[in-house]
Every structure is written in structure tokens, then in C-alpha cells.
Amino acid sequence: MTTLYRLLKYAAILLWSAFVLAPFMWALSTSFKTSNGVTGGPTYLPWLQYEPSLEGWRSLFRADGSGIDIAGPYGSSVAVTLCASAISLVLGTLAAYGLSRFTYRAGFIRNADITFFFISQRIMPPVVLAIPFFLMLQAFGLLDSEVGLIVVYIALLMPIAVWVMVDFFNNIPRELDETAMLDGCNPFETFWRVILPNSKPGLVVAGLFCIIFGWSDFFFAFTLTFTNTQLLPVAVVALNSSVTPWWSLSAAALISVAPLIAVALVLERYLSRGNLAGAIK
């Protein structure tokens, strides 16, 4: 009975892993192919089924028209994503703590309305925001700049941080805040010395979401930049020409997704919320 259960469990995990990993393996093998390798029917094994080539990878570090120089956009993407995510996380966490612990009243507006206001920013399709963002950045002279993109990304990422953190803080008993205050902490010290040190799992989830959404945005990176600034997703699209270079695109896709995989692997151990739950209740 238990043996059968374990057998089925591992079979299911194996099946799902194959399903998830197959596209990556496919991209990996494609990145080492040439035009012949791609069009010659499905092949998987290098040397046996096709002659591997580094052309796909080389084209990412060449700025002579036959490829792109991916290093510049890569650096810009890292800078913009990290800055925007960090600022969003700080502001979003502070806002979320306020919304979770204090009562705000402005006319008919209550805490729940303010929380919804943040989240509603993400309900609108991005196209609606494109023109207002464009005009605003133009007015401040921030079009086609990394700073401009950081500002826009903060507007897009902070709601995610607020959303995740409000939910997280709501699950921390208020009595913990009260005990901290009775023990001599003012509201800011309560947040800084007691709540924040116990919020690692929430901060990790919120940060991860910010990084993922910021890193993979194409739309705003495309509409708000021209020549000076280029982010990774836009640069990758520039690879495309009359003949689709599948090998270059595959290599670019793998390079693009690599940092997210690395971040996820490092932070995975924080993602289980259990390490907090046991301590308070």
C-alpha cells in the first residue's frame, strides 16, 4: 500500500518535472544548433544527431549587425529591476504595515479601500497606462532613461509588495505588536525590532514577485525607451530579422531566465511560512 503510494507519488513528480523542464532542455539544445540543425526535423542529442555550434551564444556578444551586445541591456535590466524592486519593497512594506495595523479614515475611504486602490493599479491593462506614463516621463525629462523606467516600475511593483505584505502582516497577531509596545517600543521600534525580523518569509515572497514582474516586463521597457536605454527583453527582440535566429533567441532566453532561477534557488528555504507560524501560536 505505502510502496504503491510512493511509487505513484514519484511517478507524478517525475512526469511534472519532465513537463516543466522539457522547454528548457529544448531551448538548451536549440541554442547549440545552426540553421541546418533547427530545420532538419526534431533532433535532441549533440554530435549524434546534429553538429553543435556556439554561434547562438557568440551572437549575443557581437554588436556588428549579425548579433547584439547583450551585456549593456543586461546590466540596465539588472540595475532597473533591483532598484525598482528594492524601493517598492521598502515603500510597500511600510504602507502594508500601516494598512494592517492602523485605522485610516478620509471621508468614506477606509483601510480596505486604500488597499484596493493599490491593487487596482494592477487590474488595468498596461496599455491604458502607457500614454499617461509617456507624458509624465516626458514632462520630467525622464523618457529613454533608466531612472524613468525605475519610477514607472515602482508604480507597477509596489502594489504587488503591498498586497503580499498586507496579507502577511494580517496573519501576525496584533498581540505581538502590543507586547512590544508594553515592553517599551514606540510604533516605529515595534515595526523595526519585532515585526520586520519576523517578516522574512513575506519579504522574500514580495521581493521575488517584484523581481520576476520587473525583470520580465517588455511593454513599458519598449514604449518608454528609444536609443539611449535598452532593457534585456527589448534587446532580445532586436535579434529578430528576416530569418528568425532560433539559436540566438534560445541562448538569450536561457540567459534571461538564469538570474530568476538563481534567485529562486537561494530564497527557496524562506518560502515555507511554517518557520514563523509555530513560534507565535
Where does this chain bind another protein (CB under 8 A)? 173, 175-176, 178-186, 189, 194, 197-198, 275-276, 278-281
CB closer to another protein out of 58 and 200: 200
Q: How far is the CB of 199 from another protein (least distance, A)?
A: 10
Please tell me the distance from the alpha carbon of residue 155 to that of residue 135, in angstroms, as a whole number: 15
Q: From residue 1, how far is each of 5, 10, 13, 66 by CA, in Å?
A: 6, 14, 18, 60
Please tell me the distance from the alpha carbon of residue 89 to that of residue 258, in angstroms, as a whole number: 22
Q: How far is the CB of 131 from another protein (least distance, A)?
A: 45
CB closer to another protein out of 105 and 281: 281
CB closer to another protein out of 179 and 228: 179
CB distance 53 to 34 below 8 Å: yes
Q: 67, 74, 33: which is closest to 238 by C-alpha? A: 67
Q: How far is the CB of 111 from another protein (least distance, A)?
A: 16
Please tell me the distance from the alpha carbon of residue 113 to that of residue 57, in angstroms, as a whole number: 50
Which three cell numbers mark 103?
485605522
Q: What is the DSSP letter of 109?
A: B
Q: Around Cβ 33, how many Cβ atoms within 10 Å?
A: 23
Please tell me the distance from the alpha carbon of residue 109 to that of residue 106, in angstroms, as a whole number: 5
Which three cell numbers mark 195?
515585526
Q: How far is the CB of 223 from another protein (least distance, A)?
A: 44
CB closer to another protein out of 40 and 173: 173
CB closer to another protein out of 55 and 177: 177
Please tell me the distance from the alpha carbon of residue 260 to that of residue 222, in angstroms, as a whole number: 21
Q: How far is the CB of 273 from another protein (least distance, A)?
A: 12
CB closer to another protein out of 51 and 178: 178
Q: How far is the CB of 206 from another protein (least distance, A)?
A: 18
Burial of 190 (0-12, 13-18, 19+ CB in 10 A): buried
